Structure 1
Amino acid sequence: MLERKQRKDRTEVTFVLPADTPPGPVSVVGDFNDWNPHAHPLERRGEDARAATVALPRETSHSLRYLAAGDYWFNDESGDGRDGPNSRLHT
């Protein structure tokens, strides 16, 4: 799930997943962080969720995916469409 907060000069996007599905560590990766799995790992957010927040320029588009343990790649179905095998996000 994506949560967006519009700020004056940027959009803060929070990527939210259930706390244990999929199991193990998960990162959000995309063209905004050079597909680096160490840049934005999801951290626990309460009992039921984990999340990572990324500040992105307003009115831009980005490709992204999640990377979980075991080299398991998956998309965010709440994104703004697809870009080939990736999810698409518009800020």
Structure 2
Amino acid sequence: MSIKKQFIKSKPVCKVTFSIEAKDATSASVVGDFNNWSIEEGALNKLKNGTFKGVFNLDTNASYEFKYVVDGAYINDEEADSFKWNEFAGTENGVLVV
């Protein structure tokens, strides 16, 4: 799993690349505050090496709770900036700060 941040100097936007290795999975998404926890909006593309990857433009000066959904299972990214307890989910979510 990895998160790559690329800040755009001309706009208050950060291009965030999410990737997760899941060779045996058929689908993967990243869901969070930035896409209303929508699996469809957060769909990641599967690469030939078995990694799922996607790039999202996120507003800067903000923090977002998020998780990956791999074949229906919710997974945290150990490279998240921090973690926050979520009462609704009954578990921690990863937090991304941009």
Alpha carbons of 1:68 and 1:48: their partners in 2 closer, same or farther (altered >3 Å)?
closer
2:17 paired with 1:14: yes
On the 8 A contact 2:23/2:49 being kept in 1, the answer is no
**Alignment length, in residue pairs?**
89
The letter for the 1-side match of 2:15 is E
If you compute each CA radius of gyration, which structure gives the higher value, 1 or 2?
A: 2
Q: Name stretches of at least 5 consecutive residues in structure 1 with no aligned partner.
A: none
Q: Which runs of 4+ in 1 moved over 4 A?
A: none
User: Aligned-pair RMSD on alpha carbons?
Assistant: 1.4
Q: Name stretches of at least 5 consecutive residues in structure 2 with no aligned partner.
A: 86-91
The letter for the 1-side match of 2:81 is D
3-state SS in 2 of match to 1:32: helix
| Equivalent in the alignment of 2:6 | 5
Counterparts of 1:1-91 in structure 2 under 5 Å? 1-8=2-9, 9=11, 10-20=13-23, 23-69=25-71, 71-84=72-85, 85-91=92-98
TM-score scaled by length of structure 1:
0.88
Counting aligned pairs with the same residue, the percent is 26
